[in-house]
Amino acid sequence: MQDSQVNRIPNFIWGIADDVLRDLYVRGKYRDIILPMTVIRRLDAALEPTKQAVLDMGTRLDDDGVIEQEAALKQAAGHAFYNASPFTLRDLRARANRQQLRADFEAYLDGFSSNVQDILKNFEFRNQIPRLSDADVLGALIENFCRGISISVLTRWRTAMVLCGFPVWTIMRWVRFLKNWCGGLMRRITRRLASTGRRAMRSS
């Protein structure tokens, strides 16, 4: 990854924090949202080309009464993971009703395969959804991730796709790595927030 691309990642994170999270979370808690959403968006982008194939396979398996569907759905997805919900993140951007958006987003998360569910569980991301929904920022969060930095800039996050085929202890080690790696970015965001606050006080 080129240096110019690496430098764009903190700006991407800062932009979302500034637009969506600043009035809702204290500075040190941004990672509770940014990290899982980055992983979700990366997986979502990887699954977009085969989304319809997964849905068609799920329908056939349901019609045939097949209970154990995971292997077939992974094969249809072309990855070691899948999402069997009828949604992509892009589909969720158009929801006008926040309660409907929350229900559909939770259904979207529930549609991921069990190995991705382990990642989401370790991030404890579902605990954040009520707060995001009640503050009516869930839609803006999804919109920012879908229209923001090109997902190709985040190619190092393809590790998520690889690790989805590994045991939970490996995923946990990867999650810890992500948190440590992101710590430096969060500190940069914190310093920028403080600098912005000082400038605002001087201008008032």
Which residues does the chain have with pLDDT short of 50? 1-3, 5-6, 152-169
Taking Cα atoms as reference points, which of 22, 39, 44 lies closest to residue 92? Answer: 44
Determine, yes or no, domain membership for 103. Answer: yes
pLDDT at 155: 45
Determine, yes or no, domain membership for 203. Answer: no
pLDDT at 105: 96
pLDDT at 157: 45
Determine, yes or no, domain membership for 91. Answer: yes
pTM value?
A: 0.73
pLDDT at 202: 58
pLDDT at 149: 53
Which pair of tokens denotes residue 196?
A: 């912005």
Determine, yes or no, domain membership for 162. Answer: yes
Determine, yes or no, domain membership for 177. Answer: yes
Question: How many structural domains are present in the chain?
Answer: 1
Determine the structural domain holding residue 16 and report its residue range. Answer: 3-195
Residues 6+ apart with CB under 8 A from 9: 149, 153, 154, 185
DSSP label of 20: I
> Rounded to an integer, what distance in angstroms lies between the CA atom of residue 137 and that of residue 101?
11
Determine, yes or no, domain membership for 37. Answer: yes
pLDDT at 191: 62
> Rounded to an integer, what distance in angstroms lies between the CA atom of residue 131 and that of residue 80?
31
pLDDT at 128: 94
DSSP label of 127: G
